[in-house]
């Protein structure tokens, strides 16, 4: 029995050795094969000590060496390629920055040159105007009728050069410019008619009055032309002035009438015996003529206002069309970007197609943005002219607050001075540069881009509004170059009827009305007890636009805050 057991033990040992050899041959990366008798060698040799790994053969060492060298070569080539790409990118960025800087400097120089030329032209026109007035006054005092006619002809030629027509409107403008030259004054307030009367030139007096001069105009010390003619003893000048409507009853600052300062007895006799009814008749005729001119100018202004109103309406329609096209282009661009991100996440391998589509959408956005800016500029200029025509230039100043980018924190968040709170309207930030949008985007705000369809979904707006109320943060609507205010209000109304008016009127903060926006799936952070009054009172609403001249509705509903760029922020 003992001999058979010993033989069995030796056979088992041989089988275990074969299994161990098979396990070693499998290598560290492969599973050990089972033994011939079906038993697992790991169970049989659990107590056996681990055997040392065999050395690699020369072929394997050579293969590993070749693989390492090849991979090192590939890595060197990849590193060199990436370094070259980085260098080319840096060189491209430097070149583009230099070109952009040179273009910016050149544009600023051209703008400064245009401003300088415009100022020089304005100064030249002013000098020419002053020279014509001086010539007119000197010619009137000297009685040089031909020189005065030459000056008036220059005024008419200048109107023709400036494109003033000969229709009813053009005739009104030409007549006004002619009367302005005839009624020009010197430093003492004396008109050419007063100078002609002081010089005693009846032909010059007649010519000036026929061209619209006022015979009772007052100059230095409130002296009329008749006063100066009587004081100078010019009999012919006094007679022609009386015949053309000069009033001998007017007093000067010294309390004297022309009769009292007349230097000749004949002048005293003429002035004392003059029939005042003739003067009153002439004054009535002059007043009727003045009223006729006033009515004509009024009609011309009304007609011009109607024409400009129609022009503004047409330009507004064109701008609205451009804005809608730009809005659609922005939506298309955001959709293309979302498709590209989706393809990248799924690793679909068609990035070139999506990037090409994004580039095309960006070009379309840029072209439409330029068209919208051009349409907005034309519309703004037309509205400015219309306001000046209807109300005058004094009332066209900006009605609102002004601040630079560095002061946005004090104005919007801290409300230094309490101007926003006292006004009661939410701010409308007007910033064509876009720096205010960048500033608010990276502050602790709930920022929504109104031209992005995903940001303008009802659920996104609901969560952004709830989050701003829950944590006491500002809710920002960035409209960029497009007027998306109506779209914002429509989305708020879709979320809850009357919500737009409640948000704009701040009534959403009253009686916890915002709790109606909660949904069962919002989570515990939006529970009723999480909305604390100390935080909800810090809620703010900001609307940003890049339009230099926003619509009147926005300026009425919101408080305009214009961002002024300083030299350091440009």
> For 475-489, how does the pLDDT look when each residue is reduced to its tens digit (9 = 90+)?
999 998 888 888 899
The model's pTM is 0.52
Using DSSP, state whether 297 is helix, strand or coil: helix
Task: Return the CATH architecture of domain 401-569.
Answer: 3-Layer(aba) Sandwich (3.40)
Domains of the chain, by residue range, sit at: 125-274, 300-394, 401-569
- Pair 184, 193: CB distance under 8 Å: no
Q: Which residues contact 348 (CB under 8 A, 6 or more apart)?
A: none
Nearest-Å Rg of the Cα atoms of the chain is 45
Residues 302-356 have pLDDT tens digits of 888 888 888 888 888 888 888 888 888 888 888 888 888 888 887 766 777 888 8
d(CA 271, CA 264): 11
Task: Return the CATH architecture of domain 125-274.
Answer: Alpha Horseshoe (1.25)
Q: Are strands 540-545 and 559-564 parallel, antiparallel or unpaired?
A: unpaired
Interval 522-545 mean pLDDT: 89
Interval 497-522 mean pLDDT: 89
Q: Which residues contact 301 (CB under 8 A, 6 or more apart)?
A: 389
Interval 51-55 mean pLDDT: 62
451 torsion bin: left (phi>0), alpha (psi -120 to 50), beta (else): alpha
**b/e per residue 7-46 (b: at least 16 CB within 10 A):** eeeeeeeebbeebbeebeeeeeeeebeebeeeeebeebbe
d(CA 375, CA 322): 8
Interval 243-272 mean pLDDT: 89
d(CA 459, CA 453): 12
Q: Please, what is the Cα angle at 371 between 370 and 377, to 5 degrees? A: 90
Using DSSP, state whether 403 is helix, strand or coil: strand
Q: Which of 88-97, 257-266, 290-299 comes out lowest in average pLDDT?
A: 290-299
Of 436, 377, 440, 410, nearest to 565 by C-alpha is 436
d(CA 327, CA 485): 12
Q: How confident is the model at residue 464 (pLDDT cuts 50, 70, 90)?
A: very high
Q: Which residues contact 429 (CB under 8 A, 6 or more apart)?
A: 408, 412, 436, 440, 542, 543, 544, 545, 561, 563
Domains 125-274 and 401-569 share a fold: no
Give the per-residue pLDDT at 130. Answer: 93
Phi, psi (deg, nearest 5) at residue 448: -130, 125
Q: How confident is the model at residue 395 (pLDDT cuts 50, 70, 90)?
A: very low
């Amino acid at each position: 029995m003992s001999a058979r057991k010993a033989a069995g033990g030796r056979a088992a040992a041989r089988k275990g050795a074969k299994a161990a050899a098979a396990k070693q041959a499998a290598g560290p990366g492969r599973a050990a094969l089972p033994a011939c008798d079906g038993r697992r060698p790991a169970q049989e040799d659990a107590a056996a000590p681990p055997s040392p790994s065999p050395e690699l053969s020369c072929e394997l060492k050579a293969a590993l060496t070749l693989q390492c060298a090849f991979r090192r070569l590939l890595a060197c080539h990849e590193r060199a390629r990436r370094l070259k790409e980085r260098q080319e990118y840096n060189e491209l960025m430097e070149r583009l920055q230099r070109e952009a800087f040179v273009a910016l400097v050149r544009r600023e120089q051209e703008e400064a040159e245009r401003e300088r030329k415009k100022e020089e032209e304005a100064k030249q026109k002013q000098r020419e105007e002053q020279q014509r007035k001086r010539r007119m006054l000197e010619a009137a005092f000297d009685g040089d009728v031909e020189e005065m006619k030459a000056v008036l002809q220059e005024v008419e030629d200048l109107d023709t050069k400036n494109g003033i027509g000969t229709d009813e409107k053009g005739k009104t403008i030409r007549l006004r410019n002619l009367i302005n030259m005839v009624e020009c004054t010197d430093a003492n307030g004396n008109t050419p008619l007063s100078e002609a009367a002081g010089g005693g030139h009846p032909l010059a007096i007649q010519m000036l009055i026929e061209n619209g001069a006022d015979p009772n105009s007052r100059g230095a010390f409130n002296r009329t032309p008749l006063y100066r003619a009587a004081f100078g003893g010019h009999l012919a000048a006094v007679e022609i002035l009386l015949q053309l409507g000069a009033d001998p009853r007017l007093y000067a600052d010294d309390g004297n009438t022309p009769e009292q300062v007349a230097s000749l007895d004949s002048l005293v006799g003429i002035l004392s015996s003059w029939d005042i009814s003739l003067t009153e008749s002439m004054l009535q005729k002059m007043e009727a003529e003045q009223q006729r001119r006033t009515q004509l100018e009024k009609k011309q202004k009304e007609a011009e206002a109607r024409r400009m109103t129609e022009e503004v309406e047409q330009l507004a329609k064109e701008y609205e069309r451009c804005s809608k096209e730009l809005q659609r282009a922005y939506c298309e661009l955001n959709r293309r970007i979302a498709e590209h991100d989706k393809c990248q996440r799924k690793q679909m391998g068609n990035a070139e197609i999506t990037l090409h589509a994004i580039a095309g959408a960006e070009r379309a956005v840029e072209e439409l943005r330029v068209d919208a800016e051009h349409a907005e500029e034309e519309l703004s200029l037309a509205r400015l002219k219309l306001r000046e025509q209807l109300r005058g230039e004094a009332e066209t100043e900006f009605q609102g607050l002004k601040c630079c980018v560095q002061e946005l924190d004090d104005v919007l968040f801290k409300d230094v001075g309490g101007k926003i709170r006292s006004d009661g309207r939410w701010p409308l930030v007007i910033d064509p540069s876009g720096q205010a949008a960048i500033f608010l985007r990276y502050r602790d705000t709930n920022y929504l881009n109104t031209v992005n369809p995903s940001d303008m979904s009802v659920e996104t707006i609901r969560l952004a509004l709830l989050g701003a109320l829950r944590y006491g943060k500002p809710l920002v609507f960035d409209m960029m170059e497009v007027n998306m205010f109506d779209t914002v209000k429509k989305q708020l109304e879709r979320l809850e009827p009357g919500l737009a008016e409640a948000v704009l009127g701040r009534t959403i903060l009253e009686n916890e009305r915002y709790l109606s926006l909660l949904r069962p799936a919002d989570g515990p952070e939006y529970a009723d007890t999480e909305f604390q009054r100390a935080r909800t009172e810090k809620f703010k609403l900001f609307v940003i636009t890049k339009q230099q001249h926003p619509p009147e509705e926005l300026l009425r509903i919101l408080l305009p805050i214009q961002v002024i760029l300083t030299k350091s922020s440009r």
